[in-house]
């Protein structure tokens, strides 16, 4: 059975105190409630990573993620944070290629391939984001488009490297819009992604890769989404900022 993962993406929200309060509420709920072994990931701003890691390290199944990392290892790159620095906080994951980074920071497929290499080299699990705009969805080319994103940024990896990835499918038209992909639309894309990976690396690898859905996932729709055979969890933005909502999503399997 594939790992179930529910990852929160706090984006540009929460001061350090607010982030610690949120993480502490989530950790208490995860410790006290039945979560069926679902892995919980908190994607915090860089400056929160070490403190949130320290606060949650004793709670089983909680891990910390950065929301990005640099393409560079070190040097004169003001404002950048390297994968090694992220790993040194105790974080186990890093989100790579979120559509907001692709759009607002012009992150190309090629740049994302480098970030993936940096993450893997530093033993971080990348959560690689892919997804199409509304225009591409309406033109009917969405499956090709997303598979191409995966080819460009991930298909240089060996099978052994690929096994360490998590993929998040996030249709851009569903992010923060309150408009969710239907469970069937999400399942169809997840299946297409898995088939694409199988075509390159075989079923044995494709069947082990967790593929998360992201885009207005909430306690009210998580259960239906997570019941799909190729949906292994969620990448949660807005609803990850409220402890009760987030943990209810965690408990949706």
Catalytic machinery residues: 98, 170
Site string for ligand PGA, 124-163 (x = CB under 6 A): ----------------------------------------
Find the shortest distance in angstroms from Cβ 170 to ligand PGA.
6
The pair of three-digit structure tokens given for residue 248, joined into one six-digit string: 């209810």
Find the shortest distance in angstroms from Cβ 214 to ligand PGA.
4
182 binds ligand PGA (CB under 6 A): no
The pair of three-digit structure tokens given for residue 167, joined into one six-digit string: 């993929």
Q: Contact region for ligand PGA (CB under 6 A) — 22-30, 62-70, 135-143, 168-176?
A: 168-176
210 binds ligand PGA (CB under 6 A): no
Q: Contact region for ligand PGA (CB under 6 A) — 79-87, 103-111, 117-125, 237-245?
A: 237-245
Find the shortest distance in angstroms from Cβ 2 to ligand PGA.
20
Q: How many CB atoms lie within 10 A of CB 30?
A: 22
Residues in the chain: 253
> How close are the terminal C-alpha atoms of the chain, in Å?
13
Q: Among all chains, which residue has been given the structure tokens 């404002």?
A: 79
| Helix segments in the chain, DSSP class H | 16-32, 49-56, 83-88, 99-104, 109-121, 134-139, 142-154, 159-162, 183-201, 203-206, 219-226, 243-250
Phi-psi map region of 140: left, alpha, beta (phi>0 left; psi -120 to 50 alpha): left
166 binds ligand PGA (CB under 6 A): no
Complex with ligand PGA: residue 174 or 206, whichever CB lies closer: 174
69 binds ligand PGA (CB under 6 A): no
Complex with ligand PGA: residue 112 or 236, whichever CB lies closer: 236
* Cα–Cα–Cα angle for 83, 18, 20, rounded to 5 degrees: 60
217 binds ligand PGA (CB under 6 A): yes
53 binds ligand PGA (CB under 6 A): no
What string of DSSP letters covers 92-143? -EEEE--HHHHHHS---HHHHHHHHHHHHHTT-EEEEEE---HHHHHHT-HH
14 binds ligand PGA (CB under 6 A): no
Contact set with ligand PGA (CB under 6 A) = 9, 170, 175-176, 214-217, 235-239
């Amino acid at each position: 059975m594939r790992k179930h993962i529910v990852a929160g993406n706090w984006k540009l929200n929460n001061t350090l105190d607010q982030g610690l309060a949120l993480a502490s509420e989530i950790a208490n709920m995860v410790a006290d409630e039945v979560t069926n072994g679902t892995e919980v990931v908190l994607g915090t701003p860089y400056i929160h990573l070490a403190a949130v890691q320290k606060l949650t390290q004793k709670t089983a199944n909680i891990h910390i993620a950065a929301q990005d990392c640099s393409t560079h290892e070190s040097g004169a790159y003001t404002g950048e944070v390297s994968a090694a620095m992220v790993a040194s906080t105790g974080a186990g994951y890093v989100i790579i290629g979120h559509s907001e980074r692709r759009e607002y920071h012009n992150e190309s497929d090629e740049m994302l391939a480098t970030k993936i290499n940096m993450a893997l080299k530093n033993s971080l699990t990348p959560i690689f984001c892919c997804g199409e705009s509304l225009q591409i969805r309406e033109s009917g080319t969405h499956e090709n488009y997303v598979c191409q994103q995966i080819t460009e940024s991930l298909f240089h990896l060996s099978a052994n490297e690929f096994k360490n990835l998590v993929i998040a499918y996030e249709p851009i038209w569903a992010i923060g819009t309150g408009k969710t992909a239907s469970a069937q639309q999400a399942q169809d894309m997840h299946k297409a992604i898995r088939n694409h990976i199988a075509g390159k690396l075989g079923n044995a690898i494709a069947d082990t890769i967790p593929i998360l859905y992201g885009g207005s996932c909430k306690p009210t729709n998580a259960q239906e989404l997570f019941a799909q055979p190729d949906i292994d969890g969620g990448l949660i933005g807005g609803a990850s900022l409220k402890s009760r909502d987030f943990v209810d999503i965690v408990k949706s399997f």
